[in-house]
């Protein structure tokens, strides 16, 4: 937790340390033990890295015996939800082709060189490694899920990116950060929480005035500024609250007093981007299982099928909240 000391003037350090101590209790949960065990006795390898293409690639000549050990460890970390990764020639083809999302956003995101960046709901850090290609000062990823944390630690053991850190925090912990980050990524998060406006206000508190927010979410088609509020599940997910139209998402940002709002993309979600693979195999389910087999424009519950919306916006220069 050295980053807390380094940036203490921007943080409620006592609250964050207390939260992180509480999160450590998850390391004792039996369900998390296989993932933590995969981090034990990892070989030390001198490597190079290339984060400029679709794969997060770590390169080195590795002998067969050590490569077999690394593969076994990576398999212990299944399921891999975000990717792809290429570790010494071993491709980890995750459920999500996250490079497709990165292609949509990289044309509008600020240059990250020397910047402080927050990735909310970072999963295993795929996007953090893509960000690292631009040499940011510091990238903090937060996601309170031990398997994702373990996958990040596994990859970064070999990638050795000292300016990346991941903590078992959630978006609600942004209230303990004040004007720290130049750029914040919130991707695939907002619909999982009860109050989208409060969530955006909490995020804004962690941002510098003038800072950029990359906001990405599932959404539904339609021109009216409305949101679907499913009674029970949406695409088999229980933890879905408000699924907005694109104009509704823009209004979320406006209500939270963000400015310079730019619509970046509105794309259908297809099995080219989300599907099961050998690194995220059955009995897990993916997009095809969530859609009506007779009508892919609907979810299995009969709701409009998800699209992916992406907008960019900024904390206004005079906003000191």
Q: Please give the full DSSP string across 184-244, using - where no structure is assigned.
A: EEEES-GGGSS-HHHHHHHHHHTEEEEEEEEEEEEE---SSS-EE--SS-BTTBSS---EE
- Per-residue pLDDT, 53: 87
Of 132, 100, 78, the C-alpha closest to 268 is: 100
- Give the residue carrying structure tokens 């400015």: 259
Which backbone phi and psi does 18 adopt, to 5 degrees? -65, -45
- Per-residue pLDDT, 241: 98
Of 160, 109, 163, 159, the C-alpha closest to 135 is: 163
**Are the CB atoms for 305 and 222 separated by under 8 Å?**
no
- Per-residue pLDDT, 298: 98
Determine the distance from the C-alpha atom of residue 66 to the mean position of all C-alpha atoms in its chain, rounded to a whole number: 30
47: left (phi over 0), alpha (psi -120 to 50) or beta: beta
C-alpha to C-alpha distance for 254 and 197, rounded to whole angstroms: 9
Report which secondary-structure segment, H or E, holds 6.
helix 2-6
- Per-residue pLDDT, 234: 98
Which backbone phi and psi does 153 adopt, to 5 degrees? -60, -35
What pLDDT tens digit does each residue of the chain (321 aa) get? 799 999 999 999 999 999 999 999 999 999 999 999 999 999 999 999 999 988 999 999 999 999 999 999 999 999 999 999 999 999 999 999 999 999 999 999 999 999 999 999 999 999 999 999 999 999 999 999 999 999 999 999 999 999 999 999 999 999 999 999 999 999 999 999 999 999 999 999 999 999 999 999 999 999 999 999 999 999 999 999 999 999 999 999 999 999 999 999 999 999 999 999 999 999 999 999 999 999 999 999 999 999 999 999 999 998 887
Q: Which residues contact 276 (CB under 8 A, 6 or more apart)?
A: 95, 282, 284, 285, 286
Report which secondary-structure segment, H or E, holds 164.
strand 164-167
C-alpha to C-alpha distance for 234 and 291, rounded to whole angstroms: 10
Class of domain 2-26+95-315: alpha beta
C-alpha to C-alpha distance for 89 and 73, rounded to whole angstroms: 15
C-alpha to C-alpha distance for 287 and 237, rounded to whole angstroms: 11
How is the chain split into domains, by residue range? 2-26+95-315
Q: What is the DSSP string of 72-122?
A: HHHHHT----EE-EEETTEEE--SEEHHHHHHHHTTTSPP-TT-EEEEET-
**Are the CB atoms for 130 and 151 separated by under 8 Å?**
no
């Amino acid at each position: 937790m050295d980053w807390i000391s380094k940036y203490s003037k921007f943080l409620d350090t006592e609250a964050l340390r207390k939260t992180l101590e509480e999160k450590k209790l998850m390391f004792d949960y039996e369900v998390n033990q296989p993932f933590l065990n995969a981090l034990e006795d990892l070989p030390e390898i001198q490597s190079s890295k290339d984060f400029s293409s679709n794969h997060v690639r770590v390169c080195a000549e590795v002998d067969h015996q050590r490569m077999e050990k690394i593969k076994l460890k990576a398999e212990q970390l299944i399921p891999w939800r975000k990717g792809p990764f290429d570790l010494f020639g071993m491709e980890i083809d995750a459920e999500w082709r996250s490079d497709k999302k990165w292609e949509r956003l990289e044309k509008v995101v600020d240059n990250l060189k020397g910047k402080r960046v927050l990735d909310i709901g970072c999963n295993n850090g795929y996007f953090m490694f893509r960000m690292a290609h631009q040499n940011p000062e510091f990238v903090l990823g937060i996601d309170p899920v031990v398997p994702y944390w373990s996958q990040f630690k596994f990859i970064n053991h070999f990638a050795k990116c000292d300016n990346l850190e991941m903590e078992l925090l959630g978006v609600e912990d942004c209230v303990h950060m004040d004007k720290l980050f130049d750029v914040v990524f919130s991707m695939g998060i907002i619909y999982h929480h009860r109050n989208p406006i409060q969530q955006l206000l909490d995020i804004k508190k962690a941002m510098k005035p003038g800072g950029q927010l990359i906001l990405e979410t599932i959404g539904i088609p339609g021109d009216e500024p409305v949101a679907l509020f499913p009674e029970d599940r949406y695409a088999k997910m229980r933890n879905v609250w408000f699924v907005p139209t694109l104009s509704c998402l823009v209004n979320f940002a406006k209500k939270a007093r963000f400015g310079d709002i730019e619509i970046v993309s509105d794309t259908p979600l297809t099995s080219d981007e989300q599907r099961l693979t050998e690194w995220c195999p059955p009995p897990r389910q993916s997009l095809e299982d969530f859609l009506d087999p007779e009508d892919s424009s609907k979810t299995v519950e009969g709701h409009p099928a998800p699209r992916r919306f992406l907008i960019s916006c900024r904390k206004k220069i005079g906003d000191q909240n």
